[in-house]
Amino acid sequence: MASLSPQDLIRRSASSITPAANKLPEVAKMIDVSKCIGCKACQVACLEWNDRREEVGVNTGVYENPHDLTPNSFTLMRYTEWVNPETQSLEWLIRKDGCMHCADPGCLKACPAPGAIVQYSNGIVDFVHENCIGCGYCIKGCPFNIPRISQVDQKAYKCTLCSDRVAVGQGPACAKACPTHAITFGTKEQMLKDAALRIEDLRSRGYKNAGIYDPPGVGGTHVIYVLHHADKPEIYASLPRDPKISPVVEIWKGLTKYAGLAAIAIFGVVGVLHHLVNGANRVSSQDEENAKRLKEGRS
Amino acid sequence: MAAPPKEPITVSRYTAAARLNHWITAISLVLLAISGLSLFHPSLFFLSGLFGGGASARAIHPWIGVVLFFGFCGLFIRFFRANLWDRTDNVWLSKLRDVLGGHEENLPEVGKYNAGQKLVFWLMSILIVVLISSGLVIWDQYFYGYTTIDQKRLAVLIHAIAAVTAICVWIVHVYAAIWVRGTIRAMTRGSVTGGWAWRHHRKWLRELVSGGPKD
């Protein structure tokens, strides 16, 4: 459900719009992985606020619950037990996975349904379910493997960054529920400043590679991580090092789209021109006569 | 000028079953092109309205694809023998200028199908195999779990390129049927005039009157 106003849109899937003139300040959710205790309060708050429920699952001996993002669980704590080769100590890495709200959203680029995916001037990328057709192109466009199609209504779901709460001046439900302030929310500018302070602190405590995850390959994101090992993002449950929209998707949604329509148009036009220039290829009465003679001659 | 032409002789070209088979395939292809194009380019999304909206166009498109696939399989079995490549087909192709100019007197005598028709047949055969295979990979409602997202990305690109190519081949097919007058009745009434067969498929006509191979 989109609850910011249509006047706040800067992008709308499969549509050309005039981007909002009065831009809202860009927002960001900062997830400080070094502060996370893996309590899953964020997951609960997310289900609560969005009024969604999960079936009781099966324990397969891992901490993730559910086992993956689902059409109901827009966020998921992912746990990695990692032995730091430098210190030989076990580090428990916990990353809250979910939509990153890319500045250059692959889902929106791939979406064929007008207005099913929108981007607001504050950076939130939102799915508008009444326009969603359930094709799954957003899944192919997303560099983070986030959207999930519901088998109930065949529509795509993902984190909204609580656009309905943000629209009325609240932070996202997950941030509100987080007991350690590992999740905070504010303007992106402020979040980057806060992140810098956190990184300084982490570095002073020996995490010399502490850093921020705001990947430029997708134009930056509106969910940013503070990582104690920012040089190795992939150790955090395969967080991509340099995410970008797949070149296959770029070709599909770029060159192919235009070259394809052009090719079809050219074939049609050449046909019409050929007919105008050459006229119809008609059977002559001589042909009919010859056929008759052939038939009579033989039978 | 000779006296007004008498009723021309007619030659049977397609059985009722072959025609029915053709039109089921043809209608499927047109519906697939319309619903597919509606998801291919935003400016054509309105075409999904013909199917009751984007969601139903998305849902029905792959099922029509299944119909087309089996329809085309029928056509393939019926016609592939007559579409096997001949040495004279190379000669025919090398005289494309005469073909497009309608100067059939300069072309070798043609059997049931000319080289252009054979190319359409084989291109469509290949493209339909590519389309159904790539289509299954992106039929997420039933087959989401069988492939990776990277494979799906590739499949959707291949599907789009193959579909555009198939639409272009289809334009050639339809245009040729319109340009060469007297052709369409072969697929409606099942017969053509003797003169049509003499002009465009003389070898086939000779085989027919001499009681040779019939298909």
Task: Indicate which CATH number applies to the domain containing A211.
Answer: 3.30.70.20
Q: Clarify whether residues A34 and A145 are in a common domain.
A: yes
Tell me if residue A31 falls in helix, strand or coil. strand
User: Letter for the amino acid at A190?
Assistant: Q
Q: Provide the pLDDT for residue B60.
A: 98
Q: Clarify whether residues A146 and A261 are in a common domain.
A: no
Q: Is residue B38 part of a domain?
A: yes
Which among B9, B100, B131, B156 is the top mutation candidate for probing chain A, defined by the most A β-carbons within 10 Å of its own β-carbon? B156
Q: Provide the pLDDT for residue A2.
A: 45
Instruction: Write the DSSP assignment of chain B as a string of letters.
Output: -PSSPPPPPEEE-S-HHHHHHHHHHHHHHHHHHHHHHHHH-GGGGGGGGGGTSHHHHHHHHHHHHHHHHHHHHHHHHHHTGGGS--HHHHHHHHTHHHHHHT-GGGS----SS-HHHHHHHHHHHHHHHHHHHHHHHT-HHHHGGGS-HHHHHHHHHHHHHHHHHHHHHHHHHHHHHHHBTT-HHHHHTSEEEHHHHHHH-HHHHHHHHTT----
* Contact assessment for residue B40 and residue A112, using Cβ atoms and an 8 Å cutoff: yes
Q: Provide the pLDDT for residue A6.
A: 82
* Claim: this prediction has a pTM higher than 0.80: yes
Q: Clarify whether residues A172 and A285 are in a common domain.
A: no
Q: Is residue B4 part of a domain?
A: no
Bridge partners for A227 per DSSP: A211
CA B98, B103, B108, B112 torsion-angle sign:
positive
Choose among B8, B9, B160: nearest Cβ to A252: B160
Q: Provide the pLDDT for residue B24.
A: 98
Q: Clarify whether residues A81 and A159 are in a common domain.
A: yes
Tell me if residue A290 falls in helix, strand or coil. helix
Q: Tell which of A220, A245, A270 closes a domain.
A: A245
| Counted domains in chain A | 2
Q: In chain A, whose CA is at the least distance from the CA of B47?
A: A113
Q: Clarify whether residues A116 and A262 are in a common domain.
A: no
* Contact assessment for residue A207 and residue A41, using Cβ atoms and an 8 Å cutoff: no
Judged by a CB distance cut-off of 8 A, whether residue B210 touches chain A is yes
Cβ-Cβ contacts under 8 Å, A250 against chain B: none
Q: Provide the pLDDT for residue A20.
A: 86
Which among A67, A146, A287 is the top mutation candidate for probing chain B, defined by the most B β-carbons within 10 Å of its own β-carbon? A287
ipTM of the complex: 0.94
Q: Is residue A1 part of a domain?
A: no
Q: Clarify whether residues A53 and A124 are in a common domain.
A: yes
Task: Tell me the residues of chain B between 3 and 62 that have a Cβ less than 8 Å away from chain A.
Answer: 5, 8-9, 11, 38-42, 45, 48, 53-55, 57-59
Q: Is residue B141 part of a domain?
A: yes
Q: Clarify whether residues A197 and A280 are in a common domain.
A: no
Q: Clarify whether residues A86 and A164 are in a common domain.
A: yes
| Structural domain for B59, as ranges | 13-83+111-209
| Structural domain for A286, as ranges | 254-298
Q: Tell which of A227, A245, A263 closes a domain.
A: A245
Chain-chain contact of B161 with A260 (C-beta, under 8 angstroms): yes
Chain-chain contact of A288 with B150 (C-beta, under 8 angstroms): no
Q: Is residue B74 part of a domain?
A: yes
Q: Which parts of chain B have pLDDT scores under 70?
A: 1-6, 212-215
Q: Clarify whether residues A241 and A264 are in a common domain.
A: no
Chain-chain contact of A275 with B179 (C-beta, under 8 angstroms): yes
Q: How far is B29 from chain A (nearest CA, A)?
A: 15
Q: Provide the pLDDT for residue A4.
A: 81
Chain-chain contact of B54 with A113 (C-beta, under 8 angstroms): yes
Q: Is residue B147 part of a domain?
A: yes
Per-residue pLDDT of chain A (299 residues; tens, 9 = 90+): 445 888 899 999 999 998 888 889 999 999 999 999 999 999 999 999 999 999 999 999 999 999 999 999 999 999 999 999 999 999 999 999 999 999 999 999 999 999 999 999 999 999 999 999 999 999 999 999 999 999 999 999 999 999 999 999 999 999 999 999 999 999 999 999 999 999 999 999 999 999 999 999 999 999 999 999 999 999 999 999 999 999 999 999 999 999 999 999 999 999 999 999 999 999 999 999 999 999 888 54
Choose among B101, B102, B153: nearest Cβ to A246: B153
Q: How far is A188 from chain B (nearest CA, A)?
A: 30
The enclosing domain of B139 has a CATH number of 1.20.950.20
| Counted domains in chain B | 1
Q: Tell which of A221, A245, A269 closes a domain.
A: A245
Q: Is residue B148 part of a domain?
A: yes
Q: Clarify whether residues A175 and A268 are in a common domain.
A: no
Distances from the Cα of B108 to the Cαs of A196, A243, A268, A297, B84, in angstroms?
A: 80, 59, 28, 22, 16
Q: Is residue A193 part of a domain?
A: yes
Q: Provide the pLDDT for residue B1.
A: 47
Q: Is residue A142 part of a domain?
A: yes
Choose among B100, B140, B149: nearest Cβ to A278: B100
Q: Clarify whether residues A144 and A283 are in a common domain.
A: no
Cβ-Cβ contacts under 8 Å, A299 against chain B: 209
Mean pLDDT of chain A: 95
Q: Is residue A183 part of a domain?
A: yes
Q: Is residue A38 part of a domain?
A: yes
Bridge partners for A78 per DSSP: A95
Chain-chain contact of A133 with B58 (C-beta, under 8 angstroms): yes
Q: Clarify whether residues A258 and A123 are in a common domain.
A: no
* Contact assessment for residue A14 and residue B42, using Cβ atoms and an 8 Å cutoff: yes
